Amino acid sequence: MGTFLTDKCVEIRNWLAIGEDVYPDPVVTGWIRMAEEYLSTALRVKHMVQIDTAPVITERMALPLDWQEIRLVRRLDTGGVCRYQTPDTFYNPEFPDDPAPPFDTRTSRYTILGNYLIINEPNDNVDVELAYYQSIPPLTNDVNNWANCYHQTVYTLKILHTAALYAIEDQRVEIWDKEVVRMVNGMNAQHKIDMASGSVLMPTRKKSFG
């Protein structure tokens, strides 16, 4: 059995200089879950991107329960990328690209209603690949998550800020909050650069004369 969650609880208590007798693991775990919920909504980084495949049944497919935002949708039979439309545009025949027959499999369109992806595909069992931003998987003793592995600083600081909302008086609360916002904004901005450039490893242009 692992100790990922237990170790995180100990780490947070050490930051706050409190003992397990005051705030036992179940209480600290609650702070961790609230921090995970916040960061799942606020963050958009490469480690959040997951890929899932599912067949279309009656022109729809259920989205993963941990999805936060769609990154890319494409058909596996043609390799074509599907374009998003709002529900009004998707269903209204007065708009361009009416999804009614005949269907063009090269330019499939989709919309989202609740936890369902609706696609203009009349045939069942056509596989669709979905790349999406997932929620942070809950940290447990047996399973570590990508937030604790790759973004431990912002993860820990948000847990500490959440703990402060639990009536813990600490002068560092404002610092923790501001640092979380600063880091989240910076990480999201860097991710947008990565998506545009394909890599952060860009060759440096050497200056020359003449």
Residue 1 in contact with residue 141, Cβ under 8 Å?
yes
pLDDT along the chain (210 residues), means of 10: 94 94 95 98 96 93 94 90 90 62 62 94 89 97 96 97 84 92 95 75 42
Query: 13 Cβ partners below 8 Å, 6+ apart?
Result: 19, 20, 23, 28
Helix count (H) and strand count (E) of the chain?
A: 6, 7
- Residues 140 and 194: their CA atoms lie apart, in Å, by 30
| φ, ψ at 45 (rounded to 5°) | -130, 165
pLDDT at 97: 55
- Residues 19 and 16: their CA atoms lie apart, in Å, by 9
**7: nearest Cα among 146, 157, 136, 148:** 148
